[in-house]
Structure 1
Amino acid sequence: MSRSEKEFSRITEIKMELTKWQEKIKEIKLALNQSYSSVNIRWKYLFVCGCPRSGTTAILNLLNYHPLIALGVERYKHYANKTLIHKLNPDLFQPSVFFDVREEQTNLNPQHKGWENQWKPFYEELKEKFPKNTTIIGDKFPHYYEFYEEINAQFTSAGVKFIFMLRDIIDVALSYDARAKNQKDIGWGRNRNYKFAVSDWNQSLINTWNYLENRKQENLFICEYEKLFSGDDRYLNLLLNFLDINSEREFFAYYKSMTQNWKKYKQREKVIDQEELTYIEQNSNYVLRDKILQKYAPQA
């Protein structure tokens, strides 16, 4: 056998070995998913949404402190559009998929500059909850409110719930403005100011109202930012009852620590231009907000 023939033969052997290992990896992934099957039966799915700057990250941090809850941070945000929303389904929350963060699914992936110090540790800590504890898994992304119907249809058989964060539009607008004026904030458009805030806030209300009215679903919790983060124990219990879970001593202590400075927060001076305030007051859909709160918001 010539040298070239030997080299060709060796390459062929390597390819065959590689194919065998690829098949082995598939078997391992399948076995891993099957090992979670008994847990997966009792999993429920939760999606946190709301107008941006309305406290979706704050409630994510709170809920993830509970041992029974594991929520991603904008884990599948790239699927939250009309052409790709069909890809968002329960299979994506299998551990072997959920913790394999990919660029086509989210910008918070291993290529993100904050991955090593922020997002990688976040998901490593979250992974420790699997499989023995977690009963609620899901994702947080503000704009999931645009796809209530699609998500509900794809997760209904598995059991799905939504939390819609609703915050005072003045605070939302101030937060939009602050980010828009921050030149170092490259993740926020310079034109996404208070006017954008009003538009987004109004649209989030419209989508939420339509879903509630059309579906008559009891799987959506209107969570008022001010009530939850004022430290109201009764309101926290309403939220936990909606999720069908009990409070835990450490979880409750964490909640109290998160909300201990609420009075100082409310007493802070809000600096807002009169022209901006007039625009907000004249263009915000307070009527629809009040209708939602009166008809669908939980009462402590």
Structure 2
Amino acid sequence: MKYLFVAGCPRSGTTALVKILNSHDQIILGMERFKYVKNKITPNHFTKTNFLALDKQETNIFGKNWDNFYEEIDRKFQNNKVEIIGDKYPQYYTQLEYLKTTFDPCQFLFLFRDSYEVASSFNVRAENKKDHWPAENDFRAAVHHWNRSLKKLHEYTKKFSDKDFYIVRYEWLYAGNITYFETILNFLGISMTEEMYQKFETMTSNWETMKCKELHLTDEMREYISTNKDSALEKWCTDLSANQFIENMSNNTSSLLKENGRHDINVLHLAAHKNLQQLTQLDSVLKEKNREISNLQQQLIQSNERIQQLNQTLENRDKEILDVQQQLFQSYQNLIAWIEQLDSLITSIVSSNRWKLGNTVYRIYKKILFRKIDTTPQEHQSKIMDKFQNWKSNNLN
């Protein structure tokens, strides 16, 4: 029996991979079974008795939601056909050297995902108030874990062989590439089963939707990631994963050819290498284009929001202008009514007998003194009302 540990930066697809691998009758992998004692575990922890004795001092992944998971593992123990046993916990990447020297033989599957996608996934969980994920574990924490996981893997290769681990590319695996998945099984020395194939198909069926999903990142966040991620280690990991893919695909092809009496695989090896290089280049171009599209979509959303804000402002201004116009019209109406009342009052006054008597006496007085007679109030009133009628006509029409 050999031991297998699944690790990598958090939010890189470790859980889904374990679900796929556990569909094989010869594989038992825990779900963060020993997360709290990752630097203390020994082969004794992986006996049936200890593995199934779930303890809160060792893990928090148990309870009713996990009963079926561990019942299936119990069944595998009873069948006594297990070839590979181990555990999955992303932070096992901090214990690679300890695990290698404690377990023999020991293999690792290291999940490697695009830094921007990891950061986006961190953000989504950090902003979800219903999630137990800490709010401080945002895109900045993602870059820290992403860099640290690559650094720990690189340090491991300085002391141990890179044949002990296989870098699993998130985008290649979950795109549903069965050929790529078979290279993982080839690394593990396990053959595909019908149950595993069905599980793989199910777990990768939503890739078309996932790859089109907009990243939960602002331009400032993208700039932070670009500036702070370790690009040198990223290139190292990318190149090594490509070489491992070619080697494991070639080994698998070599076995098939030998069964048919053929041993020359150079042509296939070169063809595979060329195809993989093209695939890697196209994958990079596609990611860049998707990022550009995402940026343009974000800009379009912001522009639409700005247009909506301006439209709302214009609507508010139009409403304010209409209110002012209505107030002004009402003021005009009040002024007109007041002037017309004043005109009626003046007309009543100058038409009264007292006014006529006084006016007659006034005119006689002026003539006796040989003084010019002033314009009568009626004439003044008539001129003023003519001007008023013109104003009224011009302003209300």
TM class by smaller structure: 0.7 to 0.9
Residue identity in the other structure for 2:91: H
* Fraction of identical pairs, as percent: 37
Q: How does 1:148-187 map to 2 (within 5 A)?
A: 148-156=96-104, 159-186=105-132
Instruction: Pick from 222, 229, 249 the counterpart of residue 167 of structure 2.
Output: 222
In the alignment, which residue of structure 2 is the partner of 1:210? 155
Query: What secondary structure sits across from 2:239 in the alignment?
Result: helix
TM superposition shift of 1:231: 1.1
Instruction: Pick from 167, 173, 190 the counterpart of residue 135 of structure 2.
Output: 190
TM superposition shift of 1:77: 0.5
TM superposition shift of 1:263: 2.1
Equivalents in 2 of 1:74, 1:121: separation in Å? 16
In the alignment, which residue of structure 1 is the partner of 2:146? 201
In the alignment, which residue of structure 2 is the partner of 1:243? 188
Structure 2 unmatched ranges of 5 or more: 247-397
Query: What secondary structure sits across from 1:129 in the alignment?
Result: helix
Equivalents in 2 of 1:270, 1:102: separation in Å? 37
Q: How does 1:90-101 map to 2 (within 5 A)?
A: 90-101=43-54
Query: What secondary structure sits across from 2:245 in the alignment?
Result: coil
Instruction: Pick from 59, 69, 75 the counterpart of residue 33 of structure 2.
Output: 75
Give the TM-score of the pair, scaled to structure 1: 0.78
Residues 97-154 of structure 1 deviation map (CA, whole Å, 9 limit, x = unaligned): 1000112111224xxxxx11x1222111211111422211110000000010001100
In the alignment, which residue of structure 2 is the partner of 1:59? 17
In the alignment, which residue of structure 2 is the partner of 1:105? 58
Residues 7-43 of structure 1 deviation map (CA, whole Å, 9 limit, x = unaligned): xxxxxxxxxxxxxxxxxxxxxxxxxxxxxxxxxxxx2
Q: Check the 8 A contact 2:4/2:106 in 1, yes or no.
A: yes
User: Aligned residue pairs: how many?
Assistant: 244
Equivalents in 2 of 1:190, 1:277: separation in Å? 19
In the alignment, which residue of structure 2 is the partner of 1:123? 70
In the alignment, which residue of structure 2 is the partner of 1:49? 7
Equivalents in 1 of 2:86, 2:96: separation in Å? 14
- The answer as to 2:258 corresponding to 1:258 is no
- The answer as to 2:90 corresponding to 1:137 is no
Equivalents in 2 of 1:271, 1:44: separation in Å? 40
> Larger deviation: 220-229 or 282-291?
282-291
TM superposition shift of 1:163: 0.5
Residues 224-273 of structure 1 deviation map (CA, whole Å, 9 limit, x = unaligned): 01111111121111100010010012211221222222122212232421
In the alignment, which residue of structure 2 is the partner of 1:29? none
Equivalents in 2 of 1:296, 1:256: separation in Å? 23
Structure 1 unmatched ranges of 5 or more: 1-42, 110-114
Query: What secondary structure sits across from 2:4 in the alignment?
Result: strand
TM superposition shift of 1:295: 3.2
In the alignment, which residue of structure 2 is the partner of 1:18? none
In the alignment, which residue of structure 1 is the partner of 2:179? 234
Q: Check the 8 A contact 2:16/2:203 in 1, yes or no.
A: no
CA RMSD after TM alignment: 1.4
Equivalents in 1 of 2:176, 2:230: separation in Å? 27
Equivalents in 1 of 2:245, 2:27: separation in Å? 24
Equivalents in 1 of 2:10, 2:209: separation in Å? 23
Residues 175-232 of structure 1 deviation map (CA, whole Å, 9 limit, x = unaligned): 111111111112x211110000000000000000110232124111100011111111
Residue identity in the other structure for 2:188: L
Q: Spell out structure 1 runs of 4+ moving beyond 4 A.
A: none
Residue identity in the other structure for 1:79: V
> Larger deviation: 269-278 or 288-297?
288-297
Instruction: Pick from 276, 279, 284 the counterpart of residue 229 of structure 2.
Output: 284
Equivalents in 2 of 1:271, 1:103: separation in Å? 34
Equivalents in 2 of 1:237, 1:130: separation in Å? 25
> Larger deviation: 171-180 or 118-127?
118-127
In the alignment, which residue of structure 2 is the partner of 1:14? none
Residue identity in the other structure for 1:59: L
Residue identity in the other structure for 2:109: I
TM superposition shift of 1:296: 4.9
